[in-house]
Amino acid sequence: MLKLPALLGLVAVLLGHSAPVWIQRSNYVMGTELTFAVGAADRGTGLLATEAGLQVVHRLERVLSDWDPESELSRLNQSDPKAGSVMSGELTSLLGLVLEWTRKTRGAFDPGLGSLEDAWDVRGSGRVPSRGNLDSALAISGLLRFEIDTIARRFTRPDTGSWIDAGGFGKGAALNEAVRALQANGAEAGILNFGGQIAVFGDTTVVVDVARPDARLSSALSVHIHNLSVSTSSQSERFIEVDGVRYGHILDPRTGSPVLPWGSVTVVHPDPTIADILSTALFVMGPADGMEWLQGQGIAALFQVRSGDHFQNIYTREFSHLLDHPPIISGE
């Protein structure tokens, strides 16, 4: 059993490792830390693969970044609602996927919520909007109001105040691209950590500690991860504070208001983009509606729900199969 250098304290132990050489690399990209641990036949191949992996993430940043006014998404977000714009093939397929999951989650996940973020000033010092302002923001919010034509690649926003925020799926999409680039460039196995979202590929099993919602460095439980991605959403790390009240960064697009900080959701899925989308969606749904929505979907998900001064773990059968120790209770 080989212990890997700490990857943000989340990845604990590498169980199986066929690759002869492992190299690790960290970079700051998309506003957060991206760490690769890559197994390859030799050091040169491993280094080339990490370089290719990093490049695709930088490329995706130029497509999705909402901090960069020149990114493709930023330009679409500023486009004339009367004229519309043409999207690249890459952004078209990503927004097509995101639109599909907005429908499937019945709007719990909805990146077309920029006007709501403006109403709450979540990117600034924060404010509680008046009822009238919130209603106006809701009236121009929601991906279904945008024209996203995946055949003609046309994009039109409904209003000058409407925009798309990639914060709920961008990291997952980047991990997806990175894993593909690493594999295409000779990596045999890899463990990626992008701001806390993990992706593991190849002939490698990793024990990942899932943090408690209120204490990032203490482990609630551990899961065995093999060719899977682990994404967690909570309100504990990013928030605004208005008149002494904290409001988290995850909004319920259906009501327009921040979701109360009830705990956290962890989703384990083979596709990192879907893991990222679903952890945000299930956080909005909450444990009761979330468990109901998950019925029969075959998805591994864990809800850590605050109950007094501790947390109750509720999880699907698929999640229990990943646990380090046999489950005593199951949420299903």
List interacting residues with Mg ion (CB under 5 A).
Answer: 168, 276, 279-280
- Residue 165 interacts, among Mg ion, ligand AMP, none and using kind-specific CB cut-offs from 5 to 8 Å, with ligand AMP
Question: How many CA atoms are closer than 13 Å to the CA of 163, on its beta-carbon side?
Answer: 24
What span, in angstroms and rounded, lies between the C-alpha atoms of 140 and 203? 47
The window from 164-172, 239-247, 291-299, 323-331 that contacts ligand AMP (CB under 6 A) reads 164-172
What span, in angstroms and rounded, lies between the C-alpha atoms of 93 and 127? 35
Nearer Cβ to ligand AMP, position 61 or 276?
Answer: 276
Nearer Cβ to Mg ion, position 50 or 280?
Answer: 280
Tell me if 229 sits within 8 A of 237, measured CB to CB: no
Identify the burial level of 133 via C-beta atoms within 10 angstroms of its C-beta, where 0-12 means exposed, 13-18 middle and 19 or more buried.
middle
Nearer Cβ to ligand AMP, position 188 or 276?
Answer: 276
Least distance (Å) from ligand AMP to the CB of residue 151? 24
Q: Which residues contact 93 (CB under 8 A, 6 or more apart)?
A: 150
Is there binding between residue 118 and ligand AMP (CB under 6 A)? no
Least distance (Å) from Mg ion to the CB of residue 196? 10
The residue among 174, 196, 166, 156 whose CA lies nearest residue 73 is 166
Q: What are the counts of helices (DSSP H) followed by strands (DSSP E) for the chain?
A: 8, 18
Is there binding between residue 110 and ligand AMP (CB under 6 A)? yes
Is there binding between residue 251 and ligand AMP (CB under 6 A)? yes
The window from 19-27, 75-83, 109-117, 222-230 that contacts ligand AMP (CB under 6 A) reads 109-117
- Residue 250 interacts, among ligand AMP, Mg ion, none and using kind-specific CB cut-offs from 5 to 8 Å, with ligand AMP
Give CA separation, 83 vs 153, 178, 287, 326, in Å.
14, 34, 42, 57
Interface residue list for ligand AMP (CB under 6 A): 109-111, 113, 165, 167-168, 233, 238, 249-251, 253, 276, 279-280, 284
